[in-house]
Structure 1
Amino acid sequence: MQEKTRKKLPSDELERILSDHRQWLESKGTRGRRADLRCCDLSNRNLFGAVLKMAVLRDIDFSRANLRTANLEQVDLHGCRFHQAHLQWSILTGAKLLDNDLTQANLQFCDFSDTIISDANFDGAFFHNAYFGNAVLRKSNLTGTNLRFSTWSSSQLTQIKFTASTIQQADFSYASLREIDFRKAHIYNTDFTGSDLSVADFTSARLKNVNFQGTNLDPEYFQEAQWRDCTFDRI
């Protein structure tokens, strides 16, 4: 597939667009202008604390950009690239992510609540303390990710790969986890209470102090798994 041509913006133009967008938000559309940055190259740019709520941001390259504490609420991020981007403490509540590259992204303390995510690649990303409450994720790759202290309660996940990920003190309680690949994952001190684990595959996973009470586990998908001090209704 041919690489898309993206526009590079001078710093002063980008600052003006962000300033106009902030005015547009604060005035509820009576002043300023809604930011339209689609198909821009913002890689390696400093966007610390940028307010981009409801901006038009499709097909942007944010690779290695500094987006710490940025506000990306209710944004359509279809096709955006976040490879090795820094999104710590950013807000993505209600955003839509489709066909995104977030490989090796830094997503610590990000708020992904109520997001819709599909066909995204998070390979090697860091999710320490990330929050996915009520999020919907489909057909996405989280292989080799670090999910320490992340929250997924009441989220809906379908066909997600957590292969070889580190999942420690995470909360998956009452989540819908259908056709999830946990093979070779290291899962410690994690809560799956009341979750739907239909066809969730834990083959060769290592589990310690994991709560599976109230789940619908299938022993067939625990082949060669090692567990210690885990709580099951049955297995």
Structure 2
Amino acid sequence: MDKHARWIKGLAGGACANLSLVNLEGLDLRHVDLRGALLGGAKLARSHLTGARLAGADLFRADLRHCDLRAADLSNTDLRGARLHSADCADANLRNADLREGKIDASGAGGAPNLSTMPREPGRAGTSFAAALATVARRPGAVCSRTDLTSASLRRVDLGGADLTGCNLQNADLSDANLTDTNLSESRLCGANLDGAALTGTRFHNADLVGTRLSGCDLSKADLAGAHFTKMLDTLGLEIQRVINNHERWIESGGARGARAELDGADLNRVDLRNVNLSGATLRGASLVKALLAGAKLIMADLSGADLEGANLSGADLSGANLSYARLIGADLHDALLCPAQILDGFGKPSGKIWATSLLGADLRHAHLVGALLSSANLSDANLDLADLDGADLTGAKLTGLPYQR
């Protein structure tokens, strides 16, 4: 740090701090000056970086989950592929930051390169292995990692001119943020809060805006070409509306009124079903691509063979649900309940029996399962290639025949 301070000032004996791949988890680094430092792949999860000066730093694929970055200066930083899940970036300066997906070559006999020894461009900070990989990433077989800002707090943050192409911003708080001239093309903003954000010149090309809050926003000067918006429940066919409403009555009355929902094969793509109660419903083979199901109750629901690619199921209760052979590619299941459901007797009391969640043969490639409860779940023959299971509870889960890469 002393040498870095001298390097910043241009004094003799100074050297740019190289902390690539270093474990700095949980450290108190408040107001630290690491401008232009090399932090590619560093583990900074749960660290305290309030007011830190990180302008121009290389944070390529850095782990910044649950990090306190309030009022930090992250302008002109390389944050491609970084993990900022649940980070607090309120009032931070991210102007002109690069938050696109990060790419690492995973082809060839040697696999991914040794990131800590990649050549640096002399005399320039923030280049390290991120710059060296620019050519490597063009090779066939490159592994891509989207910058993960799921549930991040970005209130009042300055992201003017930043490139967030392809970022995962599901459930992020961007209220009152400066997004002037920001590139949000192909980003996922399902359930995000953009209330009061400045959107002049903001690009939303093919962005997923299902369930995004936009109260107080002036969209007249934003570029919304190809953007996907929420399909509200009241825009669905009258029959589907009736089935869902009757199902909720059936749940509330304990089966005395209404009727169980039977939505096998239904088209529910991009529909906003946040916090809906479809417990016990049958949705076999239903299409729920990029549907917004955050906080929904789907206890013992039958979703076998359903297409939930890119769906937002964060915090959803899927206890005892049947997801056998369902497509959950890229789905957000962070903090979801996929543990056994308690079977009740005729008087509504626990019978002592449980019904495990089934993910038999499910396709969970690239799924986000951080903090998910998967105890006793049947994951036999499921595909978990490149799924994020950090902090997930897999106690007693069946994992036979599991192809899995991390």
Shorter-chain-normalised TM-score: which range? 0.5 to 0.7
1:55 and 1:142 map into 2 onto residues whose CA distance is 26
**Match status 1:155 vs 2:381:** no
Q: Which has the larger radius of gyration?
A: 2
**Match status 1:54 vs 2:296:** no
Letter in 2 for 1:155: A
- Displacement of 1:13 in angstroms is 4.0
**Which residue, out of 263, 287, 299, partners 1:37?**
263
Once the two structures are superposed, what CA deviation does each residue of 1:130-168 show, in whole Å capped at 9, x if it has no partner? 1101112110100011111111012221111221x2xxx
Instruction: Select between 53-62 and 154-163 the one with higher mean Cα deviation.
Output: 154-163
**Match status 1:146 vs 2:388:** yes
Identity of aligned residues (%): 29
What does residue range 83-102 of structure 1 map to in structure 2 within 5 Å?
83-102=309-328
1:161 and 1:50 map into 2 onto residues whose CA distance is 33
2:310 and 2:292 map into 1 onto residues whose CA distance is 10
Higher strand share: 1
2:291 and 2:237 map into 1 onto residues whose CA distance is 14
2:259 and 2:322 map into 1 onto residues whose CA distance is 22
Letter in 1 for 2:378: V
2:302 and 2:258 map into 1 onto residues whose CA distance is 20
- Displacement of 1:46 in angstroms is 0.4
Kindly report the root-mean-square deviation, in angstroms, between the aligned alpha carbons of the 2 structures: 1.7
2:331 and 2:403 map into 1 onto residues whose CA distance is 16
Aligned to 1:202: none
Given the two structures, how large is their TM-score scaled by the length of structure 1?
0.64
- Displacement of 1:129 in angstroms is 0.5
**Match status 1:119 vs 2:361:** yes
- Displacement of 1:31 in angstroms is 0.6
Letter in 1 for 2:242: R
Given the two structures, how large is their TM-score scaled by the length of structure 2?
0.37
- Displacement of 1:15 in angstroms is 3.4
Aligned to 2:138: none
**Which residue, out of 332, 338, 349, partners 1:106?**
332
1:50 and 1:133 map into 2 onto residues whose CA distance is 24
Aligned to 1:193: none
**Match status 1:17 vs 2:259:** no
Structure 2 stretches of 5 or more lacking a match? 1-234, 340-355
- Displacement of 1:11 in angstroms is 5.3
Q: With a CA cutoff of 8 Å and minimum separation of 6, indicate the structure with the bigger relative contact order.
A: 1
| Counterpart secondary structure, 2:246 | helix
Once the two structures are superposed, what CA deviation does each residue of 1:73-128 show, in whole Å capped at 9, x if it has no partner? 11121110010000000011011112211000011001111202211111111111
- Displacement of 1:12 in angstroms is 4.7
2:236 and 2:362 map into 1 onto residues whose CA distance is 29
The number of residue pairs the alignment matches comes to 157
2:238 and 2:276 map into 1 onto residues whose CA distance is 14
1:86 and 1:12 map into 2 onto residues whose CA distance is 24
1:31 and 1:80 map into 2 onto residues whose CA distance is 27
2:324 and 2:377 map into 1 onto residues whose CA distance is 13
Letter in 2 for 1:75: A
Letter in 1 for 2:397: S
- Displacement of 1:65 in angstroms is 0.4
Instruction: Select between 44-53 and 113-122 the one with higher mean Cα deviation.
Output: 113-122
| Counterpart secondary structure, 2:399 | strand
**Which residue, out of 363, 372, 378, partners 1:130?**
372
- Displacement of 1:34 in angstroms is 1.0
**Match status 1:70 vs 2:296:** yes
